[in-house]
Every structure is written in structure tokens, then in C-alpha cells.
Amino acid sequence: MFNPTLYHKANSLQRRDATDVLDKYLHLVEWRKDGKDVVLDVGCGEGDVTINILLKRLPIDFHSLTGGDLSVEMVDYAKNIYATDKIDFVLMDIVAEPKPEHINKYDHIFSFNCLNWAQDQASALRSMYNMLNETGDCVITLVAKHRIFDIWKLMSEDPRWEQYMRNTDKYISPYNNSLNPAVEFRKLLLGAGFKNVKVQVKHKTHDYIGMKNYRDSAAAVNPFFKDIPKHLHEEYLDHFMYITGELGYLEEDNNGREKELIKTNYSSLLAYASKR
């Protein structure tokens, strides 16, 4: 989350999830007749998914595409690599009240694996609603349940790491322990004012080619590295990998490959909603 270069190299799960939700719900998006759509990607990260997945699916004459993210490092990286006359990246806290210039601005809002970081789901969805114009709609996917959250919780109770992981619950998906995350998310969308709400839970398996790829991915999304001294990062990751193995969360499937295939299981929420 704070290392754009590493995140860019290890975001295969995020890319797959974005593709999945677009394949599921993009046909419901009501594009402008003049093709001049104004689009926002909430939680754009370092811009890879925004540019290499979302941009390719926009009308050819779209008016503008904005990526918003809470991380200064991610926004700066995206600006330096991807910004153009029609594409920009800005700092944005989706839980906070939208800035006046964002109110009623967007025809469409997309968000890929961002809202699972927002503990105040109602405020986040209300902000998205207020940033859409009167005919706007949104496509959202987020991680509902993932074993990585359980591992973080265990590590936060270890004397070596507890001082650096005191706010662990802040980074665990609000739906990680939910019995019916789709019902909960649907109620929140309706409560924010959205109509034509469609929500589904998809149980997934994601494959990482080799332990290093899995380890890099785990490091790329780890929110605690900013507080853990750099000289302890490798020890921390070693412990992360150890616990992952002890809990039986890694399924190795060599099947004649040169590198082992690491299989992880998780659940995603996929949603579409509009203001009309």
C-alpha cells in the first residue's frame, strides 16, 4: 500500500478482481450518448488497474478519467507514469466528505478492492453517491473475506509485533466475519440512496507462482510496514509465511511445474448500483 513499485509487480489478484467485476456488470453501465463520460476510480493505487484494465473499457471519446487514492506515494507514482490531458490522479479519502469540486461531478464511479479498507462503509458509499451526477452509476468490488486478515490478527498478538500492529482491526474487511456480506452491502447501498442495486458474493481461489510471488504480494498490501522498522521487515515476512503455513493456508500444487503453485482462497463482493 505504501510501496508503489512492489505493488505494481505483485497486484495480480487486484487485476483479476477488477476484470471479474467489469465482466459481470459493465454491460449495465449507462454511458452518455455523446460519449463524453466523466469517470472516477476510487482507490486507484499506483494506477495500473485504472490504465490497463478500466481505461480500455471506456468510450473512446471519454471526457476525463480521475484516479483517487489516500496514499501520497501511490498518487505521485501514478501521476508520474500515467497522467495525460484527460487522465489525472488526486489524493482522496472516500470516507470523508467530498470536496466541493467532486460533488455531482461524475457519470460513473468504479472501485476495485478499495472499500474493504474503509471501516465506515456507510460514509464511503454516501460519498460515492454524492459525487455521482443525477444519472450516475457505480461498479464496485471489494475483498469480503481473506485469510490474510486472520494472519494479521494473530501476528498483532505476538510480542514482537504488537507495538506496530495496534490498529489491526482498522485494516480488516468489515465483512470478514459476516454471515451474509451480500445482504449487508446491499442494505448499505440502499441506505446511501442507490437504486437498481445488484450484489453478489463470489468465492475465489487465486494462484501465485512460487513462494516469492506470494510473499511479495503479501508485502505489497501490508499496511503495517510504515510502522515497522525496515531492518525488521524480512523477519516480519518470515513470521508471516511461517504462520500462513502453520494454519494450512498454503496449498502447493507443483504438477510438473518448475515453481510451486500457491493457492489461496478468499471471497469478493461484486456490485452495481445507480442513482436512478
Sign, CA dihedral 82-90-137-95, equals positive
Mean pLDDT of 227-246: 94
pLDDT value at 253 more than 80: no
pLDDT value at 68 more than 80: yes
Q: Which helix (H) or strand (E) holds 16?
A: helix 12-25
pLDDT value at 73 more than 80: yes
Neighbouring C-alpha atoms within 13 Å toward the C-beta of 82: 23
The pLDDT value recorded for residue 206 is 87
pTM (2 d.p.): 0.94
Summarize pLDDT for 142-176 with one digit per residue, the tens: 999 999 999 999 999 999 999 999 999 999 999 99
Grade residue 259 by pLDDT with cuts at 50, 70 and 90: low
Q: Give whole-number Cα distances, 146 to 113, 125, 243, 267, 269, in Å.
A: 12, 22, 15, 7, 12
pLDDT value at 9 more than 90: no
The CATH code for residues 4-274 is 3.40.50.150
Residue-range domain boundaries for the chain: 4-274
Grade residue 251 by pLDDT with cuts at 50, 70 and 90: low
Grade residue 20 by pLDDT with cuts at 50, 70 and 90: very high
